[in-house]
Amino acid sequence: MTPLAEDLAALIASEGPIPVDRYMALALGHPRHGYYMTRDPFGAAGDFVTAPEISQVFGELMGVWAASAWEAMGRPDRVQLVEIGPGRGTLMADLLRMAKALPAFAAALDVHLVETSPVLAERQRQVLGDAATWHRGLDEVPPGPTLLIANEFLDALPIRQFVRADAGWRERLVGMRDGAFAFGLSRDPVPPGLLPDALREASPGTLVEICPAFASLAAALAARGAPLAALFIDYGHATSRGGETLQAVKAHRPVDPLAEPGDADLTAHVDFAAFAAAARSAGLSAGPVVTQRDLLFGLGLAERAERLAAARPEAFETLRAGVERLVDPAPTGMGSLFKAIALASDRDVLARLPLVD
């Protein structure tokens, strides 16, 4: 057993089976043994690779989006530029390099990174130096006009799982069987109101996932006041649907989500419709869900790639491969599996953001 597995086994022995969201939260964020608390999981030597590590173009285009959002806000003299789940700091470094092309925008930025992992925060400091301020929660970021970017953050928020049994909905739990972690179902039914409206009458055997943290995240964004513009990019689906998406990855390969808690990454596909609904319930405005391909091309991917290729012809093949991976359809590329959604403090700001009709 991993060190965290021993703790979880003791917890289950004491309290009984635990919901999937509690298992996931402990597997990722346990203060001593949680996956993100103990390692840098990015890159070829880690467990997975994210878009900013694939090509510098990604972070640079996030700079284009942020500058456009700043314009949409009316070019405030000071603006809090916030990234939550900032990885190694690569996206922010590329964004800030692009921002230098617009001196007024660059001068307006106060940069803040929201990071709970001490290992990753140290890596980010090595990349960004004194260009940013670090926080453990969004509530610690000073008030003021806010630009927020989050890439592959929503997928790591803990989910609950429910299964439609013959006698109603039951919650999926993690317990122990023959000395190993195993899934089971709650004895008591759960209120159908917990499920998305479109899925409450699903057929027996259907599994549905929800993310309770969407509501608290949306509330925290709304609490920052106006003006605010936020961009979330992640893999998932544009409309709510049934089916299991909980997955674990280690050394770039899928593994059993229950096999090595604390030593493998756990994620779930993002239900963008549910996230948008949570944002609207909190008083925010939410734009349409677009594919990563459409987002990047809309922000000028082709033009930026051409300029880079002309400036660095020796790196053309590397640049081409990276760009293709960002925009090609699944399963080999990220262009269609990954989606993006923009949120804003009000409709006027939202209407002026890139890729919002």
Model confidence pLDDT, tens digit, residues 233-275: 999 999 999 999 999 999 999 999 999 999 999 999 999 999 9
Does residue 107 form part of some domain? yes
> Mean pLDDT, the chain, as a whole number?
94
Q: What is the DSSP string of 140-202?
A: GSPSSSEEEEEES-GGGS--EEEEEETTEEEEEEEEEETTEEEEEE-SS---GGGS-GGGTTP
Question: pLDDT at residue 44 above 90?
Answer: no
Domain that holds residue 298: 40-156+211-346
- Burial string for 128-161 (b: 16+ CB within 10 Å, else e) reads beeebebbeebeebeeebbbbbbbbbbbbbbbbb
- In single-letter form, the type of residue at position 260 comes to E
Q: What percent of the chain has pLDDT over 70?
A: 99
- Nearby residues of 309 by Cβ (< 8 Å), 6 or more positions away: 316, 319, 320
* Residue pLDDT, tens place only, 61-102: 999 999 999 999 999 999 999 999 999 999 999 999 999 999
* Residue pLDDT, tens place only, 285-324: 999 999 999 999 999 999 998 888 888 888 888 888 999 9
* Residue pLDDT, tens place only, 7-38: 999 999 999 999 999 999 999 999 999 999 98
126 and 254, same domain (yes or no) = yes
Tokens coding 175: 């317990």
138 and 244, same domain (yes or no) = yes
89 and 190, same domain (yes or no) = no
CA end-to-end distance (rounded Å), the chain: 51
Question: pLDDT at residue 357 above 60?
Answer: no
- The number of distinct structural domains making up the chain is 2
Does residue 140 form part of some domain? yes
Q: Please, which pLDDT band fits residue 332 given cuts at 50, 70 and 90? A: confident
Q: Please, which pLDDT band fits residue 331 given cuts at 50, 70 and 90? A: confident
Does residue 13 form part of some domain? yes
Q: What is the mean pLDDT of residues 151-163?
A: 97
Residue 331: cis peptide before it, omega within 30 degrees of 0: yes
164 and 185, same domain (yes or no) = yes
